[in-house]
Structure 1
Amino acid sequence: MFANPVSAALRAGAICVAVLFFNPAQAKDDDCILDRCADRLPPKTQPAPAPQVQPEAKTEARESGGFRSGAPSSNFDFYVLALSWSPGFCDSVGGARDQCEPGRGHGFVVHGLWPQYEHGFPSDCDGPRSPSRIALERANGVFPDERLALYEWRKHGTCSGKSPSDYFADVSRAWEAVTIPAPFVRPTRDQTFTPIDIERAFYNANPRLRPGMMAVACRRDMLEEVRICLSKDLREFRVCPEVVRHGCRQREISVPAPL
């Protein structure tokens, strides 16, 4: 019988292809599976695309306790007005602040107005990094120095959804909404209190402030700060369980007199 010339040609072509692509070295690597051969793959020439910020990022931030730079602003639940007790705060930072200079006599001063989630907080959101001179003038007389005002804007104010001028105006409104209790207005001697004593003094001086709406922060058995929770519109004090949970747990703390 005569061989089919087409079939013969196809078989010949298959043999040529097999010879052309056969690699004896590769035959030794038949047991290379999955990622065991990764070092032999050609290098990637294009980086993987950066992930896009999605609305779900807010939920992730609440779980992690913070937000990376570029997070969407104004998506928060309430504010915390942080008021530093200058002698205790300056002791913790080593006095490297204008508010810590001897003779200034600072007691409670504004540390910051912080956007908060029920769990966690945003920080370093998108926004202008350097507020205008007109905007910074609104911070005069509210923050103890301009350097702190600028830092607080960049870390917290950018997450408020406000312009720098409006944010500093809100800081002023929040500060004016709180009455400092008499024992902490220009005291002339060092004092000792329990954290609950300090809270009760603030409740008595601010009738709309209730338990569960503020916390006392301490360090080295010394009063460092009080943190008071307010609604986003700054019209009401409000409960903030997570802030309260992180309050001072010392039995007694010292409250040094301002210098």
Structure 2
Amino acid sequence: MALCGCDQPTQASQADGFDFFVLALSWSPSYCEAEGERANRQQCDSARPYHFIVHGLWPQFEDGYPEFCDANVLRTETRLESRMLDIMPSRGLIRHQWKKHGTCSGLSQDTYFDKVRAARERVTIPPIAPEAGQYRSVSPAEVERAFMQSNPGLGEDHIAVTCDRHRLREVRICMTADLEYRSCPQVDRRACNRRSIVMPPARGR
């Protein structure tokens, strides 16, 4: 199993429809710690203690995924970015996700980001955050079970946990276009295979 949790993009830049979405929820403290000085300051220097944030909502094929589907993509509108900052706390992240993934959804900017929010609201985050200032050791299976217990209908083949060498990085949940949970073998195959990983504590006050 690959530790990054990545799939390879398809050769075609245009998405002639797609098969499902992946909602990627990033454990923000891991991103901030791993990236250090390269981390996005809007997210990592905030006084707000971000926990799971939306990395993106990604159109997927059963094998591979489309990306950068519109060479003439328009920059995301400032008022739309402001509307999304509570769940995607970086304007750069919002812009990149629209350019790379949103343009492959066949949706307008407003409709795509409405879909992102609806997908996030579909998922209840379980109470697994570490105590303030403390690291928490968990297994990928433990994280999956916590999400499944908090989200009736979410099954083992609908979710994958990704990691780096020792940190929890993301929880990825597969959904239909109507945001129902669905199986996704290609995503599950690339889940973290470490026995134990850590969740760094949230920054901020």
Relative to the length of structure 1, the TM-score reads 0.70
Is 2:9 the counterpart of 1:66?
yes
Query: 2:29 aligned with 1:87, yes or no?
Result: yes
The aligned residue for residue 193 of structure 1 is 138
- The 3-state SS of whatever aligns with 1:81 is strand
Identify the residue that residue 251 of structure 1 maps to in structure 2. 195
Alignment map for 1:164-175 (pairs within 5 Å): 164-175=109-120
Check the 8 A contact 2:24/2:173 in 1, yes or no: yes
Matches within 5 A, 1:1-259: 65-67=8-10, 71-73=13-15, 75-95=17-37, 96-97=39-40, 98-101=42-45, 103-126=47-70, 128-184=73-129, 187-188=131-132, 189-234=134-179, 236-259=180-203
Long gaps (5+) in structure 1? 1-63
Q: In structure 2, do the counterparts of structure 1 residues 255 and 140 end up closer, same or farther at CA, with 3 Å as the change threshold? A: closer
Amino acid in structure 2 at the alignment position of 1:90 = C
Alpha-carbon contact 1:68-1:123 (below 8 Å) kept: no
- Evaluate the alpha carbon distance shift between residue 150 and residue 104 of structure 1 in structure 2; reply closer, same or farther with a 3 A threshold: same
- 1:137-164 CA-to-partner distances (Å, cap 9, x unmatched) read 4423221121110010001000000011
CA drift of 1:112 comes to 0.5
Aligned residue type for 2:187: V
Question: How much has 1:253 moved relative to structure 2?
Answer: 0.4
The SS at the match of 2:64 is coil
The gaps in structure 2 that reach 5 residues or longer are: 1-6
Identity, % of aligned positions: 42
Quote the RMSD (CA, aligned, Å). 1.9
Question: Measured at CA, do residues 146 and 221 of structure 1 come closer, stay the same or move farther in structure 2, by a change above 3 Å?
Answer: same
Q: Which has the higher helix share?
A: 1
Q: Secondary structure at the match of 2:98?
A: helix
Q: Which moved more, 1:222-231 or 1:128-137?
A: 128-137
Equivalent AA in structure 1 for residue 28 of structure 2: S
For residue 128 of structure 1, report the CA deviation from its aligned partner: 2.5
- Counterpart of 2:177, as a letter, is K
Q: What is the identity, as a one-letter code, of the residue corresponding to 1:230?
A: M
1:105 Cα deviation from its structure 2 partner: 1.0
Tell me which structure has the larger Cα radius of gyration: 1
Cα distance between partner residues in 1 of 2:165 and 2:176: 31
Q: How many residues align?
A: 193
